[in-house]
Amino acid sequence: MKKWIPSWVIIPVAGISFSGYRLYRAMKAAAPPGCIAWSIDLDADYERQHLAWGNSDYGYWPVPKHPGHVCVFDPGNPDYTVKGASGFGWLAEDVASCTYKPATESDLVIGLRIWHEVLHCMLGSGEPDQMTETPGFVAFIERKFGADDPWVFQFRANPALYAHDPYYQKEFYAYLVEVHFRDEASAPPIRPPVQYLIRDVLEEILSFVRKKTGSRSR
């Protein structure tokens, strides 16, 4: 059953490096509606579960015990030997679990992974998995970017080729929000903590300095 859930709590599992600022950056990159509240709880309850259905064995996953929670964990952790998937959502319980490799995966990747599973829970369906099979999405990006835009054209010509492209996924999730939660998503955005905004500015300054230094050294 479809339901709008305006607040989600992330549980970093087994000491994984995933701070409040990292969560802010991840969700800023993935761009869910700004009125959804995201927070970290290091002490929230979860349990280790063996996930297997039929002939498919997905290994051992951390699963939150309370609705509105998402576990984030390193798949390299020997306690969670997952396989065959990078995320799961339990639609009836409104909980999810996502893998994250801090050393190699970007803010966008983990942000979209969390947002993908959250959308599964809020929609109560498999729609977030159906990007390449949804004609309305093509019409959505045509309206947004123009029917003749090369980025739109290449997706329209061969959607299956871009099934796992994070930039199309980001737009697809925006499309799902527009279709299902337009009114709810139009609520005023939540202002990020001031310290995160300051840190963003400092990060931009450092990035600029590094680029300038690198160009001079060449």
- Quote the tokens at residue 113: 């992974």
Question: 90 phi and psi, to 5 degrees?
Answer: -100, 100
Residue range 190-196: mean pLDDT, rounded: 95
Residue range 179-206: mean pLDDT, rounded: 95
Query: Does the pLDDT at position 213 exceed 80?
Result: no
- For residues 123, 124, 126, 131, the Cα torsion angle rounded to the nearest 10 degrees is 0
Query: Does the pLDDT at position 49 exceed 70?
Result: yes
If you ran DSSP here, which 8-state letter would residue 131 be given? G
The string of pLDDT tens digits covering residues 70-109 is 999 999 999 998 999 999 999 999 999 999 999 999 999 9
Query: Does the pLDDT at position 218 exceed 70?
Result: no
Angle at 190 between CA 125 and CA 178, to 5 degrees: 35
pTM, two decimals, is 0.93
Query: Does the pLDDT at position 217 exceed 60?
Result: no
Q: What does the buried/exposed string (b/e) look like for 92-102 if buried means 16 or more CB atoms within 10 Å of the residue's CB?
A: eebbbbbbbee
CA distance 25 to 28: 5
The string of pLDDT tens digits covering residues 138-166 is 999 999 999 999 999 999 999 999 999 99
Q: Tell me how crowded residue 68 is: count the other CB atoms within 10 A of its CB.
A: 18
